[in-house]
Amino acid sequence: MISDKIFLSFSAIRQSIDEKLAGINQICNPNTFTIHRHLLSLINLQILVKFDVKETNFVNRKSKIIFKEWGFIVLGWILLMYLYNLMTVWGMRHMLEDNALTAYYDTGYPHLEIFLQGIVFGVLFGFITTITDRTGIRKKSFGTVILIRSGLYVVSFIVVGIVTYVVYIGLGLITIKQWEETLSFLTPLYAASLIIFFILSIIFMNFILLVSRKFGQGNMFKLLFGKYHTPKDEEHIFMFMDLKGSTAIAERLGHNKYSQLMQNCFHDLTDIVINYKASIYQYVGDEVVLTWDMKRGLQNLNCIKAYFAFERKLKSRENFYIKNYDELPFFKCGLDCGEVTVAEIGEIKREIAYHGDVLNTAARIEKKCTPLKKKMIISEYLEEKLPDNLDGFEKEVIGEIELKGKEGKIKLYSIEYLGS
């Protein structure tokens, strides 16, 4: 990537400045080295540009996911609006007496109303979901979040009514007299049915979104359409990532505080997963398992860059972690790739599971990070898939290592980020 090359150029410049100024330092007054500090500050600032360039793609990718979710919500509300009108008017039109309301429904204007209200409320619903799920509000108690959402939904209904009124009157689609006649048909019983329907619709829509997030992006539809009802073989990359010194940290912090630490760590991982096109397979205590299909994992070295991006993310929040936990969390990881069988399993709790030796190998490799004093170790099978030139990264042969539960030895490699 261009950004990686920029970074390497800045690194080389800084190293050159360090070497030359170190020599000058032996013969010059130390006070003259204010320029040294300023030059290094400038180089550090330029290095940060590299990260800003890289994050541009991430913003676009994250926005794409949010807009896709919003599109689903808008479409869902349009369909729900059609369902309501079908149940209340169109389905019983032959039983209703002719009046101002039926005359209105006999025109094409109700379709405009449905699309208008569905789009406006869908966008507002998506906005409410985003600000309550992706901001500090999500950390509040469940009851508080429900209360905040309910208030925002009421405001949204008012906004939808105002927008509909302004558009219809502004475009001359309906007169004020016709509007008043239409409102006269809205009896308390009719209003109650409308409110009940939309409350149930809100619950249903939130349920769908929660289920989708529970199974992971895209997995809900795979389960819905039975993609893995019959086991299928696929090529995947797996990364097992574990908190270093987790036992000692848990004993020092206590279980509750330790759980908060893991919540914060995995929250910081979320953006990395989106940025580098990974999927979260499992959370297991202080360990997380990421997976990629082979194409996405190898593309732009996503499976390698994801770990180091997470490391940078944690370092950027060092003050927060030191203040709250007196600890900067450090994760180590092991990676392997190959063929796995993907299957839909479970009756009481259904999920998509991966089976194969690749997962066992990746888990065993991760356990070798501490004794070998490495932060990232990959298998020879993944190394064969990677390009010869790992731009911005250094690959080192560790050697053939025996892994627990495996017959024979496997050749392992460590990966280091040159910018670290």
pLDDT per position as a tens digit, 25-81: 444 444 443 444 444 333 343 433 343 334 445 456 667 767 777 888 888 888 888
Residue 43 lies in a domain: no
Domain assignment of residue 150, yes or no: yes
206 and 289 in a single domain? The answer is no
Examine residue 250 and state whether it is found in any structural domain, yes or no: yes
- pLDDT of 219 reads 59
Residue 50 lies in a domain: no
- Please say if the pLDDT value at position 6 is more than 60: no
Alpha helices in 89-105 (DSSP H): 100-105
Structure pTM? 0.65
Of 215, 250, 276, which residue is a domain's last?
215
On whether residue 404 sits in a domain, the answer given is yes
Same domain? For 336 and 387 the reply is yes
- Between residues 394 and 101, the one the model is more confident about: 394
Least confident of 23-37, 112-126, 153-167: 23-37
Total residues belonging to the chain? 420
Greater pLDDT, 122 or 177: 122
Same domain, 287 and 148: no
The torsion angles phi and psi of 280, rounded to 5 degrees, stand at -90, 115
Determine the pLDDT at residue 358: 94
Same domain, 187 and 234: no
Q: Does 13 score more than 70 pLDDT?
A: no
318: CATH: 3.30.70.1230
How is residue 218 annotated by DSSP?
A: T
> Do 118 and 186 have their domain in common?
yes
> What's the chain's average pLDDT?
78
Mean pLDDT along residues 138-160: 79
- Where a domain ends, among 215, 250, 265? 215
Print the domain residue range for 266. 225-417
Count up the domains in the chain and report the number. 2
Residue at which a domain ends, from 161, 196, 215 = 215
Residues 207 and 260 in one domain: no
Query: How large is the average pLDDT for residues 290-302?
Result: 93
Residue 9 placed within a domain: no
**Which pLDDT band holds residue 91 (cuts at 50, 70, 90)?**
low
**Do 239 and 131 have their domain in common?**
no
Residues 200 and 236 in one domain: no
**Residue 365 forms part of a structural domain:** yes
- In the block, which residue shows the tokens 């979320």? 270
Say if 55 falls within a structural domain: no
Q: Let me know: does 283 contact 291? Beta carbons within 8 Å.
A: no
Whole-number Å distance between alpha carbons of 206 and 248 = 39
Calculate what percentage of the chain has a pLDDT beyond 90.
33
Amino acid symbol at 155: V
CA atoms within a 13 Å half-sphere pointing along the CA-CB vector of 95: 6
If asked whether residues 287 and 403 sit together in one domain, one would say yes
Looking at the structure, tell me whether residues 249 and 201 fall in a common domain: no
Residues 354 and 252 in one domain: yes
**Do 80 and 141 reside in the same domain of the chain?**
yes
163 burial via Cβ count (<10 Å: 0-12, 13-18, 19+): middle
